[in-house]
Structure 1
Amino acid sequence: MTRTAAVLVRQSMARAAPEGVAPDEFLEAVAEDTYEMVAGLELLTPVLVTSVAGLEEIVWPGTEVITIAEDEPLKSIVKRLDGDQVVVIAADAPDLPPLLVGKLFRELGRAQITVCPAERGGAVALACGLPMPDWADPDLDDP
């Protein structure tokens, strides 16, 4: 079984920069920390998925970098990833415990999609087998 862990970086994540911190520097720092956490995990392949130019400098040599549009839907991004199972992790989650990434993959043994909730609502990571189930976004192709 091949597993891919994609760190998703969108320019809009820079809006979370604390006051007094340059948004682009903040975004690069959290993206790098999140990528380093993912790259340090065993039995998976790290990938950087980004709408931000220049971030290929934060990844280890040989890491695939996928360029996306800022508003590219998650289901479209997942379709561009390789492997039997994938997890997409928001780059603004540098403190996500690696154990939670493993738990997302473990739960795929009994669920088609697993989600790690974010502290203040929403999700920080999503894992699924490939291909992603059609029911996950039934309106993707609906104009």
Structure 2
Amino acid sequence: MARRVVVALLAPVAWAPPGVEPVDWRTALAEDVVDLLAMLNEVDTAVAVTPADRWLADAVIWPGTTVYEVPEPTPNAVFAALTGDRDGSYEQDGGYEQAAVIAGDAPDLPGLTVGKLLRPLTSRPVAVAPVEGSLPGLLGVAARLPVPSWLPALDMAAAMPATVRAAAPRPGDLAVTPSWHRLRGPADLARLDPALDGWDNTRALLSGTGRRGA
């Protein structure tokens, strides 16, 4: 089986619900995503942050979790860190053959959705999961390592599967997997399902029972 890693990309979060401190909100989202990834089977997990956000990674990671400091919060920067492309060495960090980058603001993401993002890599070099709803953006990006040279620069807040497919030599080089919601604004709160397990930290903040450091 290919060696795989799933990386939570803890990018800046531009909003917080009324009455919730932005730092508490961002920390809760990140912690729930990291906790989810830690429960996945047959993959390693890691976190990626810019140097300015190293404090957030240190606050939410499990013991032994690898933290990648990247110059910008993009999937491309994470893939470069995984392959050593930053210094031109191209040495595989950890010997990974496949990697997925997951947005850090999807606290109730099912593990099955992550698995579906990785599954197409057995036959295709890249897979993307769009954000649920009508707005642009990606939930996650997965690729074989090293990533193909045709992969465009991706902004998780604005990229669309069609943009990636247009850059590929053949349309079939890209797989589009099931979508899921991210919490990018107040309207997204209605997408949270209280019946789903997990997302305990986000749930506690929204119910008014959570506090930083709890």
TM-score, scaled to structure 1: 0.87
For 1:104-143, list aligned pairs within 5 A.
104-120=117-133, 121-137=136-152
Q: Which runs of 5+ in 1 are unaligned?
A: 139-143
74-83 or 41-50: which moved more? Answer: 74-83
The equivalent of 2:22 in structure 1 is 23
Corresponding residue for 1:97? 110
Q: Give the distance between the partners of 1:76 and 1:98, measured in 2 at CA.
A: 24
Q: Distance in 2 between matches of 1:25 and 1:133?
A: 37
Task: Please say if residues 10 and 73 of structure 2, whose CA atoms lie closer than 8 Å, have aligned partners that are also in contact.
Answer: no
Mapped partners of 2:98, 2:11: distance in 1 = 22
The alignment yields a C-alpha RMSD, in angstroms, of 1.5
More helix by share: 2
C-alpha deviation, 1:101, in angstroms? 0.7
Alignment correspondent of 2:55 = 54
TM-score by length of 2: 0.59
Cα distance in 1 for partners of 2:18, 2:59 equals: 25
* Moved segments of 4+, more than 3 Å: none
Paired with 1:16 and 1:97, the residues of 2 have a C-alpha distance of 23
Aligned-pair CA distance for 1:100: 0.9
SS at match of 1:53: helix
Q: Which protein is bigger by CA-based radius of gyration?
A: 2
Aligned residue number for residue 40 of structure 2: 41
Give the drift of 1:20.
2.0
State whether structure 2 residue 64 is matched by structure 1 residue 65.
no
Q: CA separation in 1, counterparts of 2:67 and 2:55?
A: 11
* More strand per residue: 1
The whole-number CA distance in structure 2 between the counterparts of 1:72 and 1:10 is 5
| Pairing 1:77–2:46 present | no
* Residue ranges of structure 2 left out of the alignment (5+ in a row): 83-92, 154-214
Residue aligned with 2:45, SS: strand
Higher relative contact order (Cα pairs below 8 Å, separated by 6+ residues)? 1
Query: Larger deviation: 74-83 or 90-99?
Result: 74-83
**Distance verdict in 2 for CA 1:4–1:123, change over 3 Å:** same
Rounded Cα–Cα distance in structure 2 between residues aligned with 1:118 and 1:53: 26
